[in-house]
């Protein structure tokens, strides 16, 4: 995957520039950069990861990519599986991170609580239910539809998909908090 793939996977779930977004499990920031490009300089991003070094690398990449017109970005060195002090969010991006969590419902309920009514969770995930050592708990799109509903999200829709050398296909889906 390249930057254009990252943008394409997110873009369909972001209807307007600006807003307050978070990326949970943001790592070195490939999807944070895509999110920043889409929401533009009028937006705010809370980038959460438990790897402080990855967040530092991400901050350098963001600064290099957007030296003057970046959204406001807050780097938070926390594990998103625990409650974090965040403002109400227009949206959350979770790209290639939920597949590390076996019991997803409590985490998704926590995320639902951060969102404004009508807020969006964009999931980027391998389209498989067969895990392995590196991706222990992937969620196919069909499985995601069910789990999202169980966690209180509605109107789940697939946004895009791209081929993956690793597990065949990666998809993105948007799920919404009830208005």
Query: pLDDT tens string for the chain (179 positions)?
Result: 899 999 999 999 998 999 999 999 999 999 999 999 999 999 999 999 999 999 999 999 999 999 888 899 999 999 999 999 999 999 999 999 999 999 999 999 999 999 999 999 999 999 999 988 999 999 999 999 999 999 999 999 999 999 988 888 999 999 999 99
CATH code (residue 71): 3.40.50.150
Structural domain of 125? 3-177
Contact 65, 90 (CB under 8 A): no
Contact 100, 132 (CB under 8 A): no
Name the domain count of the chain: 1
DSSP codes, 37-84: HHH-TT-EEEEEES-HHHHHHHHHHHHHH-SSSPPEEEEEES-TTS--
* Distance separating the N- and C-terminal Cα atoms of the chain: 34
pTM comes to 0.96
């Amino acid at each position: 995957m390249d930057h254009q793939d990252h943008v394409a996977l997110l873009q369909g779930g972001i209807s307007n520039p600006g807003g307050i977004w978070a990326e949970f499990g943001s790592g070195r920031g490939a999807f944070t950069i895509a999110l920043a490009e889409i929401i533009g300089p009028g937006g705010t991003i809370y980038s959460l990861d438990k790897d402080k070094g990855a967040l530092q690398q991400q901050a350098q990449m963001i600064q290099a990519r957007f030296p003057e017109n970046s959204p406001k970005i807050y780097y938070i060195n926390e594990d998103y599986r625990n409650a974090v002090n965040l403002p109400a969010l227009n949206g959350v991006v979770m790209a290639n991170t939920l597949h590390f969590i076996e019991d997803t419902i409590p985490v998704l309920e926590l995320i639902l609580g951060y969102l404004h009514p009508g807020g969006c969770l964009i999931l980027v995930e391998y389209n498989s239910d067969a895990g392995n050592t590196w991706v222990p708990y992937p969620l196919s799109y069909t499985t995601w539809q069910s789990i999202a509903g169980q966690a209180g999200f509605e109107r789940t829709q697939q946004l895009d998909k791209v081929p993956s050398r690793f597990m065949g296909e990666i998809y993105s889906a948007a799920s919404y908090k009830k208005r």
